[in-house]
C-alpha cells in the first residue's frame, strides 16, 4: 500500500514530467494555505497532493485531496477509506471503475515510506529509486460536486509488492516507467483492458530502501531530517 510519501525539489520534479507547477491551494480552503508547492517530506492521507492529468485536452498539474470521493458518494468522508485503489479490481469496484475508464492521473513523488517489523517495534523505511529519479505513482481522480461546492480527489493504485519490498509489506504502489506515463493518463484510452498490463510491480533492482527516524510516524513532522538514514545498517547499496 502507500500511506505516506515525500515530494521534494518540486520544480525539478515537475519538469521531469513536462508540466508547470500548479497555482496555489486556494480552492482547498484556508487550512491548506501554508502548504504551498514547497518541498514536503511527510505527506499523509486527506492532505492535498499534486497530481498530473489531462484536463481540457492539456497535460497539467493540479492539487487534489488524497482520498478518492466517487462522484456518486453521499458523504465525502468516504475518501478517508479510499486512499489506495487495488489495481487488480479497478474495473470491477464501483468506487474506482468510472475513474479507471477516463479519470487517470499520475502522482509524482521522491519516495514513500513503509514500516518493517512487528506491531510495537516497527521501523519506518524510506523507499526510492536507486537512481533517485522521481517516482510516477499511477493514480485515479474524481470530481465530487454538491451544490456550489466541489472536491477534486485522488487515489494511488497498488499492486503486489516486488521481491525487495515484500519484506516490508505485501502491497506497493504501481510505479510507471517514463514511457508509460502519457499512456496511462490519456483519457482517450479506456482503462480496461488496454492498461491492465501496466498494473505490475516495479522491478526490485531499480529500487532501494533504508531505515529512517520514527518521527515520520507523526504527521506534524515534515522536514528533510525525516529522510536521513538512521541505525548501524543505514547505508544501502
Q: Which residues are catalytic?
A: 2, 114
| Structure-block grid coordinates of residue 106 | 499520475
| Structure-block grid coordinates of residue 210 | 533504508
What count of other Cβ atoms lies within 10 Å of the Cβ of residue 182? 15
CA–CA separation, 229 vs 213, rounded Å? 8
CA-wise closest residue to 66 among 140, 176, 16: 140
CB of 184 closer than 8 Å to CB of 199: no
Omega before 193 cis (within 30°)?
Answer: yes
Listing DSSP states for 86-135 in one string gives: EGGGTTT-TTTHHHHHH-EEEEEESEEEEEESSTTS-EEEEEEETT-PPE
CA–CA separation, 38 vs 165, rounded Å? 28
Q: List, in sequence order, every beta strand (DSSP E) within the chain.
A: 5-7, 40-43, 48-55, 58-66, 84-86, 104-109, 111-116, 123-129, 135-146, 149-160, 171-173, 207-211
Amino acid at each position: 500500500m502507500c500511506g505516506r510519501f515525500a515530494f521534494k525539489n518540486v520544480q525539478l520534479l515537475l519538469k521531469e514530467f513536462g508540466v508547470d507547477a500548479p497555482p496555489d491551494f486556494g480552492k482547498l480552503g484556508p487550512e491548506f494555505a501554508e502548504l504551498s508547492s514547497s518541498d514536503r517530506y511527510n505527506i499523509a492521507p486527506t492532505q492535498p497532493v499534486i497530481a498530473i492529468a489531462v484536463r481540457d485536452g492539456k497535460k497539467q498539474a493540479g492539487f487534489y485531496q488524497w482520498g478518492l470521493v466517487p462522484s456518486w458518494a453521499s458523504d465525502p468522508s468516504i475518501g478517508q477509506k479510499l486512499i489506495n485503489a487495488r489495481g487488480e479490481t479497478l474495473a470491477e469496484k464501483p468506487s474506482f471503475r468510472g475513474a479507471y475508464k477516463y479519470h487517470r492521473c499520475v502522482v509524482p513523488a521522491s519516495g514513500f515510506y513503509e514500516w518493517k517489523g512487528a506491531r510495537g517495534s516497527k521501523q519506518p523505511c524510506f523507499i526510492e529509486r536507486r537512481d533517485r529519479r522521481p517516482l510516477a505513482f499511477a493514480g485515479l481522480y474524481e470530481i465530487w460536486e454538491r451544490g456550489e461546492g466541489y472536491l477534486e480527489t485522488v487515489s494511488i493504485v497498488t499492486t503486489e509488492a516486488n521481491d525487495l519490498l515484500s519484506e516490508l509489506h505485501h502491497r506497493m504502489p504501481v510505479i510507471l516507467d517514463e514511457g508509460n506515463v502519457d499512456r496511462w493518463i490519456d483519457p482517450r484510452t479506456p482503462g480496461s483492458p488496454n492498461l491492465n498490463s501496466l498494473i505490475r510491480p516495479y522491478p526490485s533492482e531499480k529500487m532501494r530502501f533504508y531505515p529512517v527516524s520514527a518521527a515520520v510516524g507523526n504527521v506534524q513532522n515534515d522536514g528533510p531530517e525525516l529522510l536521513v538514514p538512521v541505525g548501524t545498517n543505514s547505508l544501502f547499496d
